[in-house]
Amino acid sequence: MNVQNGFAGTVGRTPLIRLRRLSEETGCEIFGNAEFMNPGGSVKDRAALAIIEDAERRGELTPGGIVVEGTAGNTGIGLAHVCDARGYRCIIVMPDKSNQFDNTANRRTHVETTGPEVWEQTDGRIDAFVAAGTGGTIAGVSEYLKSRRQSVRCVVADPPGSSLYEFVPNGVLKATGSSSITEGIGIGRVTDNFADAPLDDAVHVEDADTVRHVYRLLNEEGLFLGGTSGINVAAAARVARELGPGHTVVTVLCDGGAKYQSRLFNPEWLAQKGLAASAVRSRRVQRIQMENVLVA
């Protein structure tokens, strides 16, 4: 029987999804790594599991232990699931700053799992990998891909207000723009996870482009995803156009869109942010927005 061992056994091995419309437009094969299919609903399940297992190996987390994490997002969700499955208590707090960005178990799990999976699923025929974030995913996957073929182009996608767009090509931490609607990505310093990441370039993606691609994913591909997926796909399409037809570009579809319904899929909120014109709505989107109104 093909049976997985609990929550941990179902983390990872997520499929690649071909993004048909953008692939056709660019002449490239653009694939999204479906991390939203992890059991906790996001790419952060990988980091959460790696952090717990690393603490167990080092003897810092023993049966009956308590995990305390500073987070306001998907890492906390992933940790809560892993702790339930492992029998630990989990306390989530929302501080001004979270040290998860410097826990290198995050980067290591992407070197050991996500990178090899992408390489295997593309049969090694990958020309570029593109992802946003604070270090773990982009650095870890890039490290592995570069170890297999140095010419794989690895690019970080960066939102407004973050400093990585300037740092990667120029070595200078300087914010581009003011702030972004995207959550949990972009940063003004070099984290331990991001340090020495073997990156070739950075792409700056404005919020309007992020929203536009979130809605394209829903309308054209049937994928109900969050803002980080939007910025990743926008950047991947740009890299594909720069490379030219015939190349293979992989990015990350980080998490589902349900937790962002009151923002990304709320026409009033989008209008307040000056982003309403970027949200091309279909009947499916209108139904989601009507559900939001009924719930409110």
Are 192 and 66 in the same domain?
no
- What's the CATH code of the domain at 69? 3.40.50.1100
Q: Is residue 285 part of a domain?
A: no
pLDDT at 12: 97
Are 84 and 191 in the same domain?
no
Judged against a pLDDT cut of 90, whether residue 183 lies above it is answered with no
Residue 184 pLDDT class (50, 70, 90 cuts): confident
- Residues 41-58 have a mean pLDDT of 96
Q: Tell me the whole-structure pTM to 2 decimals.
A: 0.92
Residue with more model confidence, 117 or 1: 117
pLDDT at 280: 77
How many domains does the chain fold into? 2
pLDDT at 292: 59
Q: Is residue 212 part of a domain?
A: yes
From residue 128, alpha-carbon distances to 6, 107, 152, 205 in Å are 33, 19, 5, 17
Are 138 and 32 in the same domain?
yes
Are 128 and 216 in the same domain?
yes
Q: Over the range 210-236, which residues count as b (16 or more CB within 10 Å of their CB) and which as e?
A: bbbbbbbbbbebebbbbbbbbbbbbbb
Are 242 and 193 in the same domain?
yes
Q: Is residue 22 part of a domain?
A: yes
Residue 287 pLDDT class (50, 70, 90 cuts): low
Is 158 within 8 Å of 165 (Cβ atoms)? yes
From residue 75, alpha-carbon distances to 98, 136, 166, 208 in Å are 11, 12, 27, 26
Condensed to tens digits (0 to 9), the pLDDT of residues 149-167 reads: 999 999 999 999 999 999 9
Mean pLDDT of the chain: 92
pLDDT at 70: 84
Are 231 and 135 in the same domain?
yes
Condensed to tens digits (0 to 9), the pLDDT of residues 258-274 reads: 999 999 999 999 999 99
Condensed to tens digits (0 to 9), the pLDDT of residues 79-132 reads: 999 999 999 999 998 866 585 578 899 999 999 999 999 999 999 999 999 999
Give dist(CA 61, CA 67) in Å, integer.
Answer: 8
Residue 55 pLDDT class (50, 70, 90 cuts): very high
Are 55 and 183 in the same domain?
no
Range of the domain at 86: 44-101
Residue with more model confidence, 133 or 108: 108
Judged against a pLDDT cut of 90, whether residue 186 lies above it is answered with no
